[in-house]
Amino acid sequence: MIPLLPGLRVLDLTSVIYGPLIGQVLGDLGAEVIKVEGPEGDLARGIQPRGPQGDSAMFVCNNRNKRSVVLDLKTPAGCEVFTRLLRWAEVFVHNMRPAAIERLGFGFDKVAAINPQIIYCAAVGFGSGGRYAGRPAFDDVIQAAGGIAALPSYRGQDPAYVPGVMADKVAALTATYGVMAAIAARGRGMAGPIEVEAAMFESVAAFVLNEHLAAAAFGGPPEVAGYHRMFAADRRPYRTQDGWIAALPYTEQQWRRLLDFTGRRDVLEAPWFADPGERSAHIAELYTVLAEEMTRRSTADWLQALQDLDIPHARVNRLEDLLTDPHLQDVDFFAPNGSGLARSARQPVSYPGLAAQPDRPAPVLGADTEEVAQMLGYDASALAALRAGGAFGKAG
């Protein structure tokens, strides 16, 4: 935990990855985050594999530095406690569909009336101003809608999902910077409630189109969208004699050094090579040359040669390779730091000179319910009444 946001009070009504990652980043930066779950708990808790306390790796990797409160928001007593939490909070984050949060009575207008200084973050699937607003959205759906799944088709392959929860994480980081901007605005004197809406579809569309908008940015027809270098068949991981490697010469000098090293004078002396525009037009041919040459040496030989030539490169790591990567070990990327896990990927942003504090492990379901209720001013008799009213469900 990096103490940059100490004392910032965050109320987290989220589940799975998209919403919880927002709260975890804020918690990792020192905010006080209270996660509210229904009696059944966050859906992600039950996904395999599970740890010794019964919670999944997915849950514990997205919910550290939080406290867990169980509330049944289908009961008046549960909603009463939640309303007190909204008065306590400076930031409220949810990833419920708009109609569902409105049914509970905690849409933006209602919450702003409860707490006129709230920063209200709605992490939604599709933006409220469009015709898709309110549709259900999961990662695969957004990868398809946002253009990620179709990218392989530009190389003549079938559409495919990235085998990772790409859309959730891109959208979560988008939402996080939206919340951070609102926090900064509050610190610079902006008063009143601030509504932040972060949509998965728009987040992924912006992420994909950053480079792929290409000539369409200048008013060209839609079919000219696409960064042509990315669609070259041989811009890919390259097979060596004994493995796989990534290499990306980019500048003229990098290509010259590589082609000289491999003895490809035929390419160096081609009439188009020295002209930047022409070289770009022939980039697919250059990648094909690179693919051919990579097969002539071992991975170890290429890693050394590319380092000597000062050309961007990397071994193609598998997931298990990352767990023992020497650079990640050098920077303590997997340092447990009090998280209770053997490995926990820390925030990739570092602040040299600022001492880290121990992380709070991801909470057991409802572990902090009574402590938080007491913080909100409920005494023993009031707690008993809340239990009787079903505020905490069976877990309470």
Q: Which residue has the tokens 């569909």?
A: 97
In this structure, are residues 342 and 361 in contact, taking their beta carbons and an 8 Å threshold?
Answer: no
Strands (E), 54-113: 67-70, 91-94
The terminus-to-terminus CA distance of the chain in angstroms comes to 29
pLDDT higher than threshold 80 for residue 340: no
Number of continuous H segments (helices) and E segments (strands) in the chain: 17, 9
Which alpha helices (H) appear in 220-263, and where do they start and end?
A: 252-262
**Residue 88: helix, strand or coil by DSSP?**
helix
Domains with residue ranges and CATH for the chain: 9-207+333-389 (3.40.50.10540), 238-315 (3.30.1540.10)
Specify the pLDDT at position 394.
66
Mean pLDDT of 354-360: 90
The sheet carrying 238-239 orders its strands as 238-239, 244-247, 313-315
For the entire predicted model, the pTM comes to 0.93
Q: Among 4-18, 69-83, 162-176, 203-217, which is the least confidently predicted range?
A: 203-217
CA angle in degrees (0–180, nearest 5) for 214-217-218: 110
Q: What is the pLDDT of residues 259-295, one digit of tens each?
A: 999 999 999 999 999 999 999 999 999 999 999 999 9
Q: Is the peptide bond before 363 cis (omega within 30 degrees of 0)?
A: no
Count CA atoms within 13 Å of residue 11 on its CB side.
24
Q: How confident is the model at residue 341 (pLDDT cuts 50, 70, 90)?
A: confident
Q: What is the pLDDT of residues 129-183, one digit of tens each?
A: 999 999 999 999 999 999 999 999 999 999 999 999 999 999 999 999 999 999 9
Q: How far apart are CA 376 and CA 396, in angstroms?
A: 16
Closest CA to 176 of 392, 6, 31: 31
The sheet carrying 67-70 orders its strands as 67-70, 32-37, 9-13, 91-94, 119-124, 194-199
Closest CA to 36 of 109, 76, 89, 110: 89
Q: How far apart are CA 331 and CA 352, in angstroms?
A: 11
In this structure, are residues 229 and 283 in contact, taking their beta carbons and an 8 Å threshold?
Answer: yes
In this structure, are residues 200 and 171 in contact, taking their beta carbons and an 8 Å threshold?
Answer: yes
